[in-house]
C-alpha cells in the first residue's frame, strides 16, 4: 500500500510538534484526520491542501469520554481504515512538588496519559481487526529522567513509555506496532517562554548545542510509521542531551 492510500490520525495536530507532524505526513501523501481543542487556522488548512491530500477535522478534548469514539468513528466513515495514530496532545502545569495541587497533577495526567489511553484503546480495537496499524505516542526526555518543577509531567510521560511497551506486546501478534518518541528541548510555544539565561544553561547540557526543531521530531514520527520492524521502542530526539 502506498502512502497516499494510508490514513493518519493526529491528536493535538494544529500547533507545535503536532503541526509539524501533520505537515510531514501530508507531504508524504497520507490522508489526515486531525484533532485539536480549537479550530484549525487558515494557514495550516491551506498548507495541507497545497500538498494535495484530504483531511478531516474532529474537534474535541481527548479527556472527554466521547472524543476518542467520535475521532475513530468519523475516520472509518470517511476513509474506511486507520493506519497510523499519533498521540501528540499534551499539556504542562509546572510547579514544584510542594506547591503542586492534586488538581495540577491530575490535569496533566488526564491529558497526557489517560487521554493517550482513551484514543489508543478505541483505535487499537480497529487496528487489531485490520491486522495492521501503527501507534506513535509522544513521551519526553522528562519522562525518562524527571525534572524539577515537572513531577506531574514527568509522571505522565513515564507512564506513556510503559503504556507504549505494553501495547506493543499486545499488538504484535496481529501486526499492530506501537512506539514512542521522547523529544528533548524543542523550539515550540512551550519553550519560547523560557528566559534567555535558562535557555543558555540548558544549552550547555546538549552536545549539539541547540534546541531541536518540531520538524526533526516529525521526521522521527514518519520514520516510525514506515519501518515495519520497529515496535516497543522509545526514540529519543534530544541532540544528545541524555547521553
- Determine which of 18-32, 65-79, 186-200 has the lowest per-residue pLDDT on average: 186-200
| pTM > 0.75 | yes
Please confirm, yes or no, whether 153 is among the known catalytic residues: yes
**Cell numbers describing residue 37:** 481543542
- Let me know if 60 is exposed, middle or buried by CB neighbors in 10 A (0-12, 13-18, 19+): middle
User: Which run of H or of E encompasses 155?
Assistant: helix 151-171
With a CB cutoff of 8 Å and minimum separation 6, the contacts of 185 are 191, 202, 206, 211, 212, 238, 239, 241
| Domain ranges within the chain, ordered by starting residue | 3-237
Residue ranges at the known binding site: 12-15, 88, 153-157, 186
Binding residues for NADP(+): 12-15, 88, 153-157, 186
Q: Output the pLDDT for position 105.
A: 98
Residue 32, phi then psi, degrees to nearest 5: -120, 145
Contact 221, 21 (CB under 8 A): yes
Per cent of the chain over pLDDT 70 is: 98
Residue 1: pLDDT band by 50, 70, 90 thresholds?
Answer: low
* Reduced 3-state DSSP string for the chain: CCHHHCEEEEECCCCHHHHHHHHHHHHCCCEEEEEECCCCCHHHHHHHHHCCCCEEEEECCCCCCCHHHHHHHHHHHHHCCCCEEEECCCCCCCECHHHCCHHHHHHHHHHHHHHHHHHHHHHHHHHHHHCCEEEEEECCHHHHHCCCCEHHHHHHHHHHHHHHHHHHHHHHHHCEEEEEEEECCECCHHHHCCCHHHHHHHHCCCCCCCCECHHHHHHHHHHHHHCCCCCCCEEEECCCCCC
Higher pLDDT, 120 or 5: 120
pLDDT of residue 26: 98
Q: What pLDDT shows up at residue 88?
A: 98
- Contact between 141 and 236 under an 8 Å Cβ cutoff? The reply is yes
Contact 70, 11 (CB under 8 A): no
Give domain 3-237's CATH number out of 3.40.47.10, 3.20.20.150, 3.30.1330.20, 3.40.50.720: 3.40.50.720
Task: Work out whether strand 84-87 and strand 7-11 pair parallel, antiparallel, or are unpaired.
Answer: parallel
Higher pLDDT, 198 or 90: 90
Catalytic position from the list 30, 55, 79, 153: 153
112, three cell numbers: 497526557
Chain mean pLDDT for the chain: 96
pLDDT in tens, 33-87: 999 999 999 999 999 999 999 999 999 999 998 999 999 999 999 999 999 999 9
pLDDT for residue 242: 93
Q: Is 57 left (phi over 0), alpha (psi -120 to 50) or beta?
A: beta
Amino acid at each position: 500500500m502506498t502512502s497516499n492510500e494510508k490514513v493518519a490520525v493526529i491528536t493535538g495536530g494544529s500547533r507545535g510538534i503536532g503541526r509539524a507532524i501533520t505537515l510531514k505526513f501530508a507531504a508524504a501523501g497520507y490522508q489526515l484526520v486531525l484533532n485539536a481543542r480549537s479550530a484549525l487556522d487558515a494557514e495550516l488548512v491551506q498548507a495541507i491542501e497545497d500538498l494535495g491530500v484530504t483531511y478531516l477535522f474532529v474537534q474535541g478534548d481527548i479527556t472527554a469520554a466521547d472524543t476518542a469514539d467520535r475521532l475513530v468513528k468519523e475516520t472509518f466513515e470517511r476513509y474506511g481504515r486507520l493506519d497510523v495514530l499519533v498521540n501528540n496532545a499534551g499539556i504542562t502545569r509546572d510547579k514544584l512538588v510542594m506547591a503542586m495541587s492534586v488538581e495540577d497533577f491530575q490535569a496533566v495526567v488526564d491529558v497526557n496519559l489517560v487521554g493517550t489511553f482513551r484514543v489508543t484503546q478505541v483505535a487499537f480495537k480497529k487496528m487489531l481487526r485490520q491486522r495492521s496499524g501503527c501507534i506513535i505516542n509522544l513521551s519526553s526526555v522528562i519522562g525518562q529522567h524527571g525534572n524539577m518543577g515537572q513531577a506531574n509531567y514527568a509522571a505522565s510521560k513515564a507512564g506513556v513509555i510503559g503504556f507504549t511497551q505494553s501495547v506493543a506486546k499486545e499488538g504484535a501478534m496481529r501486526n499492530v506496532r506501537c512506539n514512542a518518541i521522547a523529544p528533548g528541548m524543542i523550539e515550540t510555544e512551550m519553550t519560547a517562554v523560557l528566559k534567555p539565561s535558562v535557555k543558555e544553561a540548558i544549552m550547555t547540557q546538549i552536545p549539539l548545542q541547540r534546541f531541536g526543531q518540531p520538524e526533526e521530531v516529525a521526521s522521527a514520527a514518519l520514520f516510525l510509521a514506515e519501518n515495519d520492524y520497529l515496535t516497543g521502542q522509545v526514540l529519543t530526539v534530544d541532540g544528545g542531551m541524555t547521553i
